[in-house]
């Protein structure tokens, strides 16, 4: 993870060009968390907005299309994907 700052702005870069952004509230704090799906490894990565810690979740394969949303009404973004041909 690369970190740089300018006055009151902090910028974190922690993904690659092939990652798919999946922004949403993943931690139920009411703020959008920076997140992405990495098709190559089938993992989801989330940078928690409340403390800037990172967690990952293995869920998916390279050909999946990420479709995160609050599917169960729990107030947080659920990791989800669409897999063509199933």
Whole-number pLDDT of residue 72: 92
Report if pTM > 0.95: no
Structural domain including 37 reads 2-82
pLDDT below 50 — which residues of the chain? none
Cα separations in angstroms, 80 against 13, 24, 28: 23, 12, 17
Residue 9: the pLDDT is 67
When divided into structural domains, the chain yields a total of 1
* Residue 7 DSSP class: T
Q: Locate 7 and state its tokens.
A: 């006055």
């Amino acid at each position: 993870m690369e970190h740089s700052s300018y006055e009151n702005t902090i910028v974190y870069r922690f993904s690659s060009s092939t990652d798919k952004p999946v922004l949403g509230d993943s931690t139920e704090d009411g703020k959008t968390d920076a997140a992405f799906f990495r098709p190559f490894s089938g993992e989801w990565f989330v940078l928690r907005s409340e403390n800037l810690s990172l967690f990952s979740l293995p869920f998916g394969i390279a050909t999946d299309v990420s479709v995160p949303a609050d599917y169960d009404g729990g107030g947080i973004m659920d990791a989800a994907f669409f897999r063509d041909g199933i």
